[in-house]
Amino acid sequence: MSITPSQPTCLLHVGTPKTGTSSIQESLFHGLADPAFRYVNLGFIQGAQFLAALFLDRPEQFWFFRARGFSAKRVRQLADNYEGRLRRALRKARDRSQTPILSAELLWKFPPANLARLRDFLLSEGFKPRTLVYLRPIKSWMESRFQQRNKLARVPFFPFEDTDAPNLLALHQYAEKLDGLRDVFGPDALTVRPFVRSQLTAGCAVRDFCQTAGVTLHPDAVLRSNESLNADATQFLYAQNRFGSPKNCNLLRRLAVVRLLEGRKGPTLRFHSSVFDRVARLIEDQTTRVAQEHGIDISENLKAADAGPCVREEKDLFRFERASLDWLAETAGSPSIKATEGEDAAREVAVRMDQLCGRPLLRQRWELAQARIKTRLRWIQNGD
């Protein structure tokens, strides 16, 4: 069902992680030309940074500000700047009878009180917020989130655990999250869509978002972003996170390595259903409630991957393909790795990955720089 526009409204894309959110944001940022809509971003591909500064209780604890060592005073200064810019962008949209769009995965993590703060802010600018949420089958989401976080930091073996988020399972309590959105914004302002390829418009999250929201977007403007890594690449990164030396691989170097690994072809990493035994009941209950209360089918066969290559325990992540090990050693400019499995093999992989971080990787760095330049130029030309 499409959202029926009713001016003046503001569309909040509550980007649940790993539901095509990055592709939607990239496509809107670089390609939105529909005069009826305005993608409000303040120069960022997505809105997490300014939304965190403005509406979180302790925004200095947001990972972006924490990673840069920003003090609470510095974040307050940023918030003052962001507030003025956001109000100007919203007023520009209102003057042009445009529907502003705000998009951030962070919104899924907002408690009701913070959502209410955002709601009241938008109402103060004359916009009634409406929300669009995508839900992914829960096991699939957990697997994909494991892979995503593994790109940049050490993660626990169990995909439903997270050392940085003790209440991670709350993110998967879909029904409760949707109840919070409904209570804050109203039942008529909540649209829920399944992130299931067979149920998406043309199997594409971007096209489904645009059709649901009523946005016209040229087919050439549909971008794919944040592509999945294959199983070998995920295992390499996991070994480095587990046994490597993080001090030897800063963020820029790591991003270049991830960019290189994205070019590796092959199936993505899947977990055996037994890994999820501890949360199987949660998955079943949430899937049932979402179907009953919102008419959304996110059911999945938890055992679908069990018959093929899949991970049952951590040591399975330390079994490597000979061809992949040879590629890694050659690319890192180091001797080959003799063992193909076990902790010794994983430690050797970690050494090669650290060495790879020290390589120039000029093409990958140039690609990352080009992306930043493209974003900046788009902002200069069309920024709010």
Q: Name residue 103's beta-bridge partners.
A: 13
Of 259, 218, 271, the C-alpha closest to 372 is 259
Task: Please state the φ and ψ torsions of residue 164, each to the nearest 5 degrees.
Answer: -95, -5
The residue written with tokens 């929300």 in the block is 131
Is the Cβ–Cβ distance between 127 and 159 less than 8 Å? no
Please name the residues in contact with 307: beta carbons below 8 A apart, sequence gap of 6 or more: none
| Res 246 pLDDT > 80 | no
| DSSP for 16-42, written as a single string | -TTSSHHHHHHHHHHH---TTEEE--T
pLDDT at 240 (0 to 100)? 95
pLDDT at 249 (0 to 100)? 75
State yes or no: cis peptide before 8, omega within 30 of 0: yes
Choice between 196 and 152, residue whose per-residue pLDDT is larger: 196
The residue written with tokens 């569309």 in the block is 11
What single-letter amino acid sits at 128?
Answer: K
Q: What is the pLDDT of residues 185-224, one digit of tens each?
A: 999 999 999 999 999 999 999 999 999 999 999 999 998 8
Q: What is the DSSP letter of 229?
A: P
Q: Taking the CB of residue 269, how many other CB atoms lie within 10 A of it?
A: 26
Q: What is the mean pLDDT of residues 153-165?
A: 76
Q: What pLDDT band is residue 351 in, cutting at 50, 70 and 90? A: very high
| Res 164 pLDDT > 60 | no
Helix (H/G/I), strand (E/B), else coil: 10: strand
pTM, 2 dp: 0.89
| Res 1 pLDDT > 90 | no
For the chain, domain boundaries: 9-140+169-224, 231-271+311-366
Is the Cβ–Cβ distance between 236 and 346 less than 8 Å? no
Question: Which option is the CATH number for 9-140+169-224: 3.40.50.150, 3.40.50.300, 3.40.50.620, 3.10.20.70?
Answer: 3.40.50.300
CA quadruple 20, 21, 22, 23: dihedral positive or negative?
positive
H helices of 262-298, where?
Answer: 280-294
Burial of 8 (0-12, 13-18, 19+ CB in 10 A): middle
Q: What is the pLDDT of residues 290-303, one digit of tens each?
A: 999 999 999 999 99
